Amino acid sequence: MSIFDQATPVEKTIKISFFITIFLHLIAVIFSEGHHKLDEYGGIFAYTGYGLGLWDESFLNPGEYPAQIRPWIQPLLYMIPISPYTLLGGENPFVINTMMRLISSIFGLFGIWSLIKIQDYFLDTSFQKKISILVLTLFWFFPYFHARSTAENFGISLFLIALHFILNRKSFLYAGLFLAVCFFMRFQMVTMIGPLILWLFIFKRDGVHQIILGGLFGSALMIAIDSYFYSGFSFTPWNYWKFNIIDGVASSIGEDPWHFYFKKIFLKGIPPLSIIMFASIFWYWVKKPKSLITWLMIPFFVVHCFIAHKELRFLYPLAMFFPLISAVWIERIPKRDIILKIAMTVNFILLPVASLKPAFSAIGLYHFIWDNQIREVQVLGDFPKPLTLYLRDQTITLRKVSKETSFQGWVFSNKFHYFKTLQTKESCTNKYLSYPEWLLNLMPEKNRKRSKVFSLFYCNN
């Protein structure tokens, strides 16, 4: 007998699992430092710091800022709770970044809670509900994903909150407001919002007008916020469309074939979990074509397959529906206990890795440079692309040197063999190393040569 068939009340499963996921999200907030993609750093983080007065507009993207394509609502949601810290003189970018991850995770937790509160609408049995709750709260990359200050994270979280208001008939006006903010947070979410309104109009017919009214009010509020921060009327959805589609900037970043996501999901989703994801989702779409989940997912997926520039993070919103889908699927397949045990084993191996690992490999290096107020560094090898917002006064002097140089002051290296060279210098002391030395010594030689090993020495000739 499976443990999921035992007579544990669903409400108890919710309480225990949700407290566990709060803990896991806090772990991810603390340890998954840095940015997953540069858009987190050069977009949201840069705009937030600019709005808080930490740096001027020269540190914003020189292409997108004049084009006014980025809505201000997400930076504003960070700026409001962080502003007391900066008003008291705080300027540490790592503290600000941690606060941003915490705020992002709180919204992610609200999204999870909203899905739990509406799961009765999609699930029938106690077994399905328990599976859904456990996957929602313990799926391996959810804590990491929710700690990211990305529009995809905020967009789907706000969408799920709106869905909770609609399906539980809490407030259609508030639902419309949240949907408007969701759209301005991530414009591509229109491929979920549109099908939702259409589904409600076909199958429900109640509340649609109130949702639209709330959406209009929310949109007016978003336009007012953007116009205020851009110092003049600004309609960011049109600006975004013109900049990326009409002017072709998005395509110039890179184009991928329509089937790009199939390979990426299979590999990055980690087999066998990615196989389960594919099998359950396509099974659900075929078996339940009238389900709201199907209506939300298919248009979103198809449209993203035909958008030229593709990144796996663009599909993260779809992953939030996987727990409900997998719960229905797993109950109806043979040998479900074996599949559950395999999936749980793989998931619980990946969960701590994803939550504890820094999102940006060089973040520890920048942390050390900030803490030690380092302004000038000799570079042996190649320094990571300078991310100036992580530096004091947003600047650092880098001087390229060779192994024959007479080292003086701070010296950076990015390869293991450079590290060993500096270690032999009596006048140089290792102060920072991105990996424990014992771990580097255990690595096979070819792995050490291939790996980026960041180190900082202080040399005093």
Reply yes or no on whether the pLDDT at 3 is more than 50. no
Which among 94, 191, 195, 118 has a CA at the least distance from the CA of 152?
Answer: 191
Q: How confident is the model at residue 6 (pLDDT cuts 50, 70, 90)?
A: low
Reply yes or no on whether the pLDDT at 84 is more than 80. yes
Q: How confident is the model at residue 2 (pLDDT cuts 50, 70, 90)?
A: very low
Q: How confident is the model at residue 393 (pLDDT cuts 50, 70, 90)?
A: confident
Q: How confident is the model at residue 384 (pLDDT cuts 50, 70, 90)?
A: confident
pLDDT of res. 248: 83
Specify whether the CB–CB gap between 373 and 392 falls below 8 A.
Answer: yes
pLDDT of res. 8: 64
- Percent of the chain with pLDDT strictly greater than 90: 79
Q: What mean pLDDT comes out for the span 315-332?
A: 96
- Cα–Cα distances in Å, from 370 out to 93, 94, 396? 9, 9, 10
pLDDT of res. 1: 39
Please state the separation of Cα 15 from the chain's center in Å: 25
Give the tens place of pLDDT for each residue, 129-184: 999 999 999 999 999 999 999 999 999 999 999 999 999 888 999 999 999 999 99
* Burial call 218-250: b when 16+ CB within 10 Å, e when fewer: bbeebbebbbebbeeebebbebbeebbeeeebe
Q: How confident is the model at residue 220 (pLDDT cuts 50, 70, 90)?
A: very high
Reply yes or no on whether the pLDDT at 202 is more than 80. yes
The pTM of the full predicted model, rounded to 2 decimals, is 0.93
What are residue 8's phi and psi, to 5 degrees?
Answer: -85, 125
What's at 255, amino acid-wise? E
Give the CB-side neighbour count of residue 6, counting CA atoms within 13 A: 6
pLDDT: which is higher, 443 or 29: 29
pLDDT of res. 7: 53
Mean pLDDT of the chain: 93
Reply yes or no on whether the pLDDT at 5 is more than 60. no
Reply yes or no on whether the pLDDT at 98 is more than 50. yes
Token pair listed for 439: 């771990």
Q: Report the DSSP beta bridge partners of residue 399.
A: 378
Q: What mean pLDDT comes out for the span 349-365?
A: 93
Q: Which helix (H) or strand (E) holds 376?
A: strand 376-380
Which among 180, 142, 145 has a CA at the least distance from the CA of 162?
Answer: 180
- Percent of the chain with pLDDT strictly greater than 70: 98
